[in-house]
Structure formats: structure tokens, C-alpha cells
């Protein structure tokens, strides 16, 4: 497998509002403008633990609980998100620039968040998409959301482990 530079990767999450509004295609089309490569993609049912770890930098904020519930899908009755890894030169800057500012009201109106986001009456910024903020966050988040075998390139060092696990197979 090619070994690709880790600082060029970013986690992208299409949040529950993006899925509920059928924006997956639009968002992926917008992100394709970057000419970056998708090196992993999957649907995820977000647990409270995953949401809390993902947003741990916000744990002291008054909106922390609402942001967890938002990512878990509780405000949209859609208990899933789409997680992807985009790889390539300046992946983070390119994707964050297309995503727009965190506050959808302040985001450039042609950005993804400016086009499709909103602030709810509860005060949650529903901004449709997550993009890692910097290479350190990207590495932490990618390792949190994906196993090495789910990524088609070697982004970070990994090791083989042998374990006996109970898993489901097709009947």
C-alpha cells in the first residue's frame, strides 16, 4: 500500500441534518472541487461515547450536551452519519474553506454551511458537515472513527494483532 503523508488527511462527517436533508450528493459534489482523494467512507451510528470523545474540546461549553445529541441524531430522528477521509495536498484548508465558518449565519453564503446550515431555536449550530480543524485533530479524529483496515492507504503507523472475536457472517 502506498504510504501517504498523515498531515494531508482530514476527517469529514456528514452530520444527521445533512442526511435528513438529502444533502449527501451535494456535499460530496462540492468537496470533489478540491480534487482530493477519498480513502475511506462508511455509515456510522454514533454512540454517546464516540460523540463525547469527538467533541471533547467542547466539554465545558454550555451547549456540549446539545452538540452530542445533535451528532448522535436525536434532533433529526436519523441515527446515522457518513464518515469519510479525504486525502491530498492541503486537505484540511481546502475542505474547511468549502465547508465555511462554524456559525452557519456567519459562513460565506456559497459555502456548504452557509448554503445548508441553520441555528436552531435551542441555539445549536446545525452546520451539516464536520471537517477536522488541524493535522493534530485530524489524526486524533481519524484514529477515533476508523480502524487501519478501513482506510485504503497507510496514513499512520499501525500494527497487526491476532485476536479471537465473535462476529456476524452471512447465512
Residues annotated as catalytic (active site), given as ranges: 130
Q: How far is the CB of 8 from ligand IDP (least distance, A)?
A: 18
130 counts as binding ligand IDP under rule CB under 6 A: yes
State how far the alpha carbon of 30 is from the alpha carbons of 25, 36, 49, 101, 129, in Å: 9, 11, 30, 16, 12
116 counts as binding ligand IDP under rule CB under 6 A: no
User: What stretches of the chain adopt beta strand conformation (E)?
Assistant: 9-14, 37-44, 81-87, 118-119, 125-126, 129-131
Candidate residues 38, 124, 133, 153; the one interacting with Mg ion per rule CB under 5 A:
133
10 counts as binding ligand IDP under rule CB under 6 A: no
| Sole window of 87-95, 125-133, 139-147, 162-170 interacting with ligand IDP (rule: CB under 6 A) | 125-133
On whether the CB atoms of residues 143 and 156 are closer than 8 A, the answer is: yes
On whether the CB atoms of residues 126 and 115 are closer than 8 A, the answer is: no
Query: Toward ligand IDP, which CB reaches closer, 28 or 124?
Result: 124
- The footprint of Mg ion (CB under 5 A) covers 133
Amino acid at each position: 500500500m502506498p504510504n501517504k503523508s498523515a498531515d494531508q488527511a482530514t476527517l469529514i462527517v456528514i452530520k444527521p441534518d445533512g442526511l435528513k436533508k438529502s444533502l449527501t450528493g451535494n456535499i460530496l459534489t462540492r468537496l470533489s472541487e478540491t480534487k482530493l482523494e477519498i480513502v475511506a467512507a462508511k455509515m456510522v451510528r454514533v454512540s454517546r461515547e464516540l460523540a463525547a470523545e469527538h467533541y471533547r474540546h467542547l466539554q465545558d461549553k454550555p451547549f456540549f450536551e446539545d452538540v452530542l445529541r445533535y451528532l448522535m441524531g436525536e434532533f433529526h430522528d436519523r441515527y446515522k452519519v457518513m464518515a469519510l477521509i479525504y486525502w491530498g495536498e492541503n486537505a484540511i484548508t481546502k475542505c474547511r474553506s468549502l465547508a465555511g465558518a462554524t456559525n452557519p449565519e456567519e459562513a460565506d453564503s456559497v459555502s456548504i454551511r452557509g448554503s445548508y446550515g441553520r441555528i436552531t431555536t435551542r441555539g445549536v449550530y446545525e452546520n451539516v458537515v464536520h471537517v477536522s480543524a488541524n493535522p493534530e485533530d485530524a489524526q486524533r479524529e481519524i484514529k477515533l472513527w476508523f480502524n487501519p483496515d478501513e482506510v485504503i492507504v497507510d496514513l499512520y503507523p499501525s500494527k497487526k494483532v491476532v485476536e479471537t472475536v465473535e462476529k456476524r457472517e452471512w447465512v
